[in-house]
Amino acid sequence: MPTRAEQFAGLSVAIVTPLRDGEVDVEKLHEQITFQVEAGTTAICPVGTTGESPTLSHKEHEQVISESIRAAQGKTLVMPGTGSNSTAEAIRLTQYAEKAGADAALVVGPYYNRPTQQGLYEHFKAIAEAVSIPICVYNIPARTGRNIEPETILRLAELQGIAMVKEATGSMDQASQILSGTDLTVLSGDDSMTLPLLSVGGRGVVSVVGNIIPNDMKDLLDAFERGDLNEAQKLHRKLFVLGRNLLGLASNPIPIKAAMKMLGRDTGDVRLPLVPLEAEPMARLHKVLADYGLPVN
């Protein structure tokens, strides 16, 4: 049975924001989007957690959105992060994304101010009613401090503008409740949970490791789609080790940016309060990438 936003089924990549000398490196941004287009990635998701949106200025945030759309040239879908803990600001950003030509908006749950479930519902309702592009509800309570309960998502699914959920709670019960009660397109928000989520009806992943190995992530999704569970499990186990050992080194996107640099795709350093990997985890990262079979510098 088709889900509400089937065009986003498959691999979406939460791309990093290249930073150089305190500014967005537009040339490198275009390069990495071209890399994803050539890999056949379904969608790119700029200015999310991986894109360091909390430390970008409003002007930079808008710049990354517009430049990502320009670089994609319609060859891959663009679903930028437009969330905020201020409903008015989230509406403004989402409206900007729509006007710039985004195909959808990835809207994280409000962070820090910890609204009630009714407050969460009203927040997403206001955003959905302010634009005509599809909204993906990004539920990551480890970052926001508040779970968007499945009952709230079921209510939101009654709204026309709510089309997807990026599920990053780690709870298969919550994902199953959403999938059994709605036709929302559910995407995994954790690389390691991709195959388990697919098995209960999920339709893809918003991937971090897809920044470096989009083809391998696509192979897993394709194997499951054609019913080759043995191959999907084999790829899951391989990718699980990489994701666990890479992303466990430090807060995202510190290790993925370091990995990209090791692989000859330098996107600059992270912005404070994030700091680069120190020598010991850097050495471990080198081993992780080499063990996976990647050509590290």
Residue 228 neighbours by CB under 8 Å, 6+ apart: none
| DSSP assignment letter at 160 | T
* Cβ–Cβ under 8 Å, residues 193 and 165: no
d(CA 73, CA 39): 15
Selecting among 96, 138, 257, 292, the annotated active-site residue is 138
* Cβ–Cβ under 8 Å, residues 9 and 185: yes
Selecting among 96, 121, 125, 166, the annotated active-site residue is 166
d(CA 73, CA 28): 16
d(CA 188, CA 168): 6
d(CA 254, CA 269): 8
For the question of residue 166 being annotated catalytic, the response is yes
Strand partners, 24: 19
Looking at residue 149, its amino acid is E
Residues designated as active site:
138, 166
